[in-house]
Structure 1
């Protein structure tokens, strides 16, 4: 099943029908379909559709240079109309409406069955040996703060990406960071804060609306690499704080947990995304 899931992620614009995927699993089509549903609680068709819809929604929201027709074809639909009907059925908005103003609450509800399945099959098991302690240098950054309801984070991401494109501080040449000031499960929604940052020495001017200049300070850090989906880094953070830190004898310093997005979905298949999580140490 892990092989099948990886194959789906890596071939979203290919043949993901029952016959093709049962061959990847080396099961008969009949047994494979029943076993897939029994293990994951979703039919194979719905799982594939949700994975394709997740990539399509990411592209609609964050990749304005990709047309709706291209996104429909990449999602396995031969005609934009059929893609639009399926997208509306699953997400609750037409593709163009979602691109203009995504309803992230409805999107999260639609994707919840997929998130539950992928939390079962894409959870990385960590060990003490997976953590390295490194001396990091100062990293000047430009950052945009998201403050308030976590469900509105998608809109902040859109603004941050728009700034990167307009300013030329692109992800291909300037490292991307996320700085976690608060735990969304431990504070009220209005007190939630997370910073989206790009490594750059570029001066921030009044024209850079919503952006601030900042610094990720030099110092020792415990670093844990996460391979796979990075929507939820809580298991990795809980491992660092709950298991690695007590066993190491180290103490955290006064800077928040932060992550570097080495490669991310949808630029790479979700199971190939790489995130380095940093716990600053004294």
Structure 2
């Protein structure tokens, strides 16, 4: 195995570990278990994890639990704080509150109230702007998005059962927005052309982190192509399976400047009233075979998919 293949193998194993952590945040996680997931020696795994991630396993686990909890507090305003604490692995509301204050400087209840006030303030601001004929100001790079979407689009949210999908992917670590556009163009497209993965292959864009919560330099994004299970990933690409199951899907047709608005409306407006909640599977944008793209207007179509289970 040459040095390039060796690094790809390490990267693939560490990605499996990170996915396993997100899927099991409500469980006791230890280094021995994660070493088995990665097929590495448990004796050396802590050092390997710290070297690869730039933070210890304990620090990473605490950060992910708090960040996921913060997203759920905003997306599930009627869910008890204790339940959210338990769902990300805290044994009590007191322990959760202490950790949350250390990370965000306020209690979980204060955070939730702040998110609600910001959502209503943004909605009122949008209404005032629309009365004066002003365009919605949406900064995709920072995901400072509108908290509303018109009723016609809200009605297009459907629940579907998706089958698992094998994908080959490249991971971007850093800020979202324009860097992601360049990542697709400069990293994914040349590789896809070399591997004859054109418009007849479905694509996925997976944002693993919320940039309003996670530091920009720690945000993870995967640019993926759907492939057959026996596809041989080359050129630095990795392979994984996107889990199947129940997803809420919003069909989107618009520009990059509006896609953040659609995400916010789905997570902050539709989800809290749906009787459903997110689980540990990733959210993603699904670009089906032959998905429309207008190079003149910049409009594209995709399906915004969020994994859901009963509340």
Q: What TM-score do the two structures reach when normalised by structure 2?
A: 0.47
* Equivalent of residue 156 in structure 1, options 164, 179, 183: 183
Distance 2:166 2:157 in 1: 25
Tell me if 1:219 matches 2:245.
Answer: yes
Match of 1:125 in 2: 150
Residues 195/113 of structure 1: CA separation in 2 closer, same or farther (3 Å cut): closer
Residues 142/132 of structure 1: CA separation in 2 closer, same or farther (3 Å cut): same
Q: How does 1:128-277 map to 2 (within 5 A)?
A: 128-150=154-176, 151-157=178-184, 158-170=186-198, 172-201=199-228, 202-205=230-233, 208-262=234-288, 263-267=291-295, 269-271=297-299, 273-277=300-304
Distance 2:236 2:151 in 1: 37
Distance 1:281 1:248 in 2: 10
SS of equivalent to 2:276: coil
* 8 Å Cα contact 1:230-1:275 kept in structure 2: no
Distance 1:134 1:113 in 2: 29
* 8 Å Cα contact 1:178-1:195 kept in structure 2: yes
SS of equivalent to 2:193: helix
Residues 281/139 of structure 1: CA separation in 2 closer, same or farther (3 Å cut): same
Distance 1:174 1:203 in 2: 13
Alpha-carbon distance, 1:186 to partner: 2.1
Q: Which runs of 5+ in 1 are unaligned?
A: 1-37, 42-111
* 8 Å Cα contact 1:126-1:239 kept in structure 2: no
Match of 2:15 in 1: none
SS of equivalent to 1:149: coil
Residues 175/247 of structure 1: CA separation in 2 closer, same or farther (3 Å cut): same
Match of 1:19 in 2: none
* 8 Å Cα contact 1:144-1:195 kept in structure 2: yes
Distance 1:142 1:280 in 2: 20
SS of equivalent to 1:279: strand
Q: How many residues are matched? A: 167
Distance 1:261 1:240 in 2: 18
Residues 228/152 of structure 1: CA separation in 2 closer, same or farther (3 Å cut): closer
* 8 Å Cα contact 2:139-2:257 kept in structure 1: no
Q: Which runs of 5+ in 2 are unaligned?
A: 1-131
Distance 2:302 2:262 in 1: 10
SS of equivalent to 1:281: strand
SS of equivalent to 1:270: coil
Alpha-carbon distance, 1:232 to partner: 4.7
Distance 1:261 1:268 in 2: 19
SS of equivalent to 2:221: strand
Alpha-carbon distance, 1:164 to partner: 0.3
Distance 2:284 2:266 in 1: 12
Residues 238/40 of structure 1: CA separation in 2 closer, same or farther (3 Å cut): closer
